[in-house]
Amino acid sequence: MSETRIDRRFRALKQEGRAAFVTFVMAGDPNQETAFRIMQGLPEAGADIIEVGMPFTDPMADGPAIQQAGLRALASGTTLKSTLSMIREFRKDNDDTPVVLMGYYNPIYSYGVDRFLEDARDAGVDGLIVVDLPSEEDEELCLPAMKAGLNFIRLTTPTTDDKRLEAVLKNTSGFIYYVSIAGTTGAAAPKASDVAQSLQRIKNATDLPVAVGFGIRSGAQAAEIAEIADGAVVGSALIDRIAAAENDDEAVRSVMELASEISAGIRSTVKH
């Protein structure tokens, strides 16, 4: 594979000596216009990589916050096609920030794998996280995605043993997403001391950057993770700000405030 925006961003951050701030937002939440404004504003608020959720009716790995975000997005008429259109629009003013599509295989399968990969690449997508496609199914999407020049990013968990880890890492590129808590998204915050041991085991098996997600809700928590990981992923906390907002302007403002706080926490840590 040729180098992607994700590869370039992690290399630049390594030279800076800090971890990446990876944000997750749902396409079309709370509506398509506001979701686009939020995506547009995230890089200035400090996001290094943006994960964009593909709304799906049966998000089995997600907790209540992201499930509700998906329902709001579907109610606003969001489709995979409109999600790709949002990213294409984003790319008109931002050609640097890596964008990762995250979700489930069903919408991609329905769209058509070959057509999806071509449209995703043309829209400016850099990588995919598809949570319900195990490594045994690599020929379905992983290998075609890599051939199309998209990173295929895998999740590992505290219960991933050494044998399974080897299979997970086999065709992974871009970075590894370490799910630090057993359970659905938005669970309790991870303890840095517990995460550090697992991260070392993963790093012994791969040279890829490792980003840690699930449960990070503040700048202080993000700083703790940034001390030991190559990236901190924040999703449910941002989604909660959207859900609590009384109007669209407040949703944008509130998400940017929290993103800026978390970004400052991550940037306060310097690796030597």
pLDDT at 180: 83
Distance CA 154, CA 130 (A): 8
Distance CA 163, CA 231 (A): 24
- Residues whose CB falls within 8 Å of the CB of residue 39, separated by 6 or more in sequence, listed in order: 25, 50, 52, 86, 90
Residue range 152-168: average pLDDT? 92
62 is catalytic: yes
**Nearest Cα residue to 20 out of 93, 98, 108, 89:** 98
- 51, 126, 224, 230: which one is catalytic? 51
- 7, 62, 119, 138: which one is catalytic? 62
Pick the CATH number of 5-150+216-266 from 1.20.950.20, 3.50.50.60, 3.40.50.720, 3.20.20.70: 3.20.20.70
What's the predicted TM-score (pTM) here? 0.95
Question: Any alpha helices (H) in 92-169, and if so which ranges?
Answer: 105-111, 113-123, 142-147, 162-169
For the segment 119-138, what is each residue's pLDDT rounded down to a tens digit? 999 999 999 999 999 899 99
Question: Does 184 score more than 60 pLDDT?
Answer: no
Question: Does 183 score more than 60 pLDDT?
Answer: no
